[in-house]
Amino acid sequence: MSDNNPTIFGKILRGEIPSTRVWEDDQCIAFRDVNPVAPTHVLVIPRRHIATLNNATSDDKPLLGHLMWVATQIAAQLGVAEDGYRVVMNVGPGGGQTVFHIHLHIIAGRPLVWPPG
């Protein structure tokens, strides 16, 4: 983990801001979103700071795959896997990214329509 990550997620990783964690391993943590858009809304963030998906390199492929796998494990743990859930990663300001530390949103517990947004 980068100790100089200035984002709110860096502060959460360093323990400066509390979070309700639902997953933690050597590569990432997951916690409940403080402004949920659905009954289940969890964020999965890597411990290593990568500002946007566009900043990921080929060396990050294992980490990106791990984040997706963790999302499936959390969905099962929280009991939403069978009914269905959405995994979202916003990229850049135009894509709705507001915290520049890559993260997945796991959203479930209400009907999700398409297209989103």
Concerning whether 41 is annotated as a catalytic residue, the answer is no
How many Å is the Cα radius of gyration of the chain? 14
Closest by CA position to 22, among listed 45, 49, 52, 3:
45
Closest by CA position to 9, among listed 58, 44, 56:
44
CA 32, distance to chain mean position in Å, is 10
- What are φ and ψ of residue 22, in 5° steps? -120, -10
Among residues 49, 101, 103, 105, the one annotated as catalytic is 103
Active-site residues: which are they? 103
